[in-house]
Amino acid sequence: MTGRGRGRGRRMMTFSVEAVGINRGDSLPPSIQQPTPLFPVMEQKPLPLAGGEEAEYLLALKQEFRGAMKSLPCFIQPAAAHRDVERYSDKYHSTEPADGPTDWTTDWKRFPKELRVRVKKPTRDGVSAAVTRSDRVQSGQKKKKIKEKEEVLLKLETLEKKEERGSSGEEEEEGEEKKKKQEDEEAEGEEEYDEEEFEEETDYVMSYFDNGEEFGGDSDDNMDEAIY
């Protein structure tokens, strides 16, 4: 009954207005219709920052500390997103995850078992050592493509060698062994392949004339097959 406020007396509030000090006839400050501005005007300007030698030294310490942390192994970068096409600049932008796990030697006894990272033997060209299977799956897209290409080229090479040397038993086994080895030691295969291919930039694969002995010896065995 008393609180009919809407039409008649608009100024009904939950607490007594006289006691708090709003007398009749006093105008209230205008009611706020929208959120307060993001950067309201300040009536009092804030004090300037404390300067002095200590403050500057602390500042320098802080910035150096931040910079040093960025270069430590505990600074973990997320895996870089792979773009749709390989680009030329990727070669120069390559931010290797550095030697993260190998560089960071710590006492694994102090960590629970599930957190311990197995450190595999580092591969020859310094690829990050603790590449687990999941990582290989995720980030191996590029490498897979290259691997496939190399595998194809290596296969062609071995086939050439086979025809060059004829189908004697040893060479076949050699070829098979090589194929098996490809899967385990891609890195080494890559390097050997690179050497052979790019040594003199000729159109001929250098291993064609690898050993003088093989060339002379094989030609005696199988005169039936053509030598390309």
Partner 1 sequence: MTAQEVRLCGLLLQEHFGEVVAKVGTHLLKSGAQNLRTIIHETGISLDLVKKSLCVLVQHGTCVFSSGRKAPGSPTEYRTSCDRILRILRYPRYIYTAKTLYGDTGELIIEELLQRGDMTMSSTVKTVADRLTQNMEEGRSMDYSEVSSAFSKLVETHFLQRCPPMAGAGTKDSGTPATPATPAIPGTPAAPVSTAPPTPESFPDCYRVPHVTLIGRGKRRLSNEDGEDQRNAKKTKMDSETHGDEGIYWQVNFERFHLHFRDQAIISAVANKLDQTSSEIVRTMLRMSEVTTSPTATCTKPLSANEIFRSLPSSYNIPRPILDQYLTLLVDDPMEFVGKAGESGGGMYVVNLHKALANLARATLESVVQERFGSRSARIFRLLLRKRHLEQKQVEDFAMIPAKEAKDMLYTLLSQNLVQLQEIPKTPDYAPSRTFYLYTVNQLPTARMLLQNCYKTVANLIERRLFESKESKRLLEKSQRIEAILASLQASGAEPEQLTEVEEMITAPEKQQLEALRLHINKLDSAENQVDETIFLLESYVNSTMSVY
The residue ranges that bind partner 1 (CB under 8 A) are 14-16, 18-22, 43-44, 46-47, 49-50, 54-55, 57-59, 61-63, 65-66, 68-69, 72, 74-79, 99-101, 103, 105-107, 109-115, 117, 132, 134-135, 138
Shortest distance, CB of residue 14 to partner 1, whole angstroms? 8
Shortest distance, CB of residue 125 to partner 1, whole angstroms? 12
- Per the listing, tokens 């385990």 go with 184
Spatial CB neighbours of 77, under 8 Å, sequence gap ≥ 6 = 95, 97
Nearer to partner 1, 4 or 109 (CB): 109
Nearer to partner 1, 83 or 113 (CB): 113
Q: Long-range contacts made by residues 183-189, C-beta under 8 angstroms, separation at least 24?
A: 186/147, 186/150, 187/123, 187/124, 187/125, 187/127, 188/124, 189/150, 189/154
Query: Residue 43 corresponds to which amino acid?
Result: E
Shortest distance, CB of residue 10 to partner 1, whole angstroms? 17
Nearer to partner 1, 106 or 167 (CB): 106
Shortest distance, CB of residue 146 to partner 1, whole angstroms? 22
Nearer to partner 1, 134 or 211 (CB): 134
53 conformational bin, left if phi > 0, alpha if psi -120 to 50, beta if neither: alpha
SS3 content of the chain, % helix, strand, coil (to 5): 50, 0, 50
Is there a contact between 213 and 149 (Cβ–Cβ < 8 Å)? Answer: no
Shortest distance, CB of residue 77 to partner 1, whole angstroms? 6
Nearer to partner 1, 20 or 223 (CB): 20
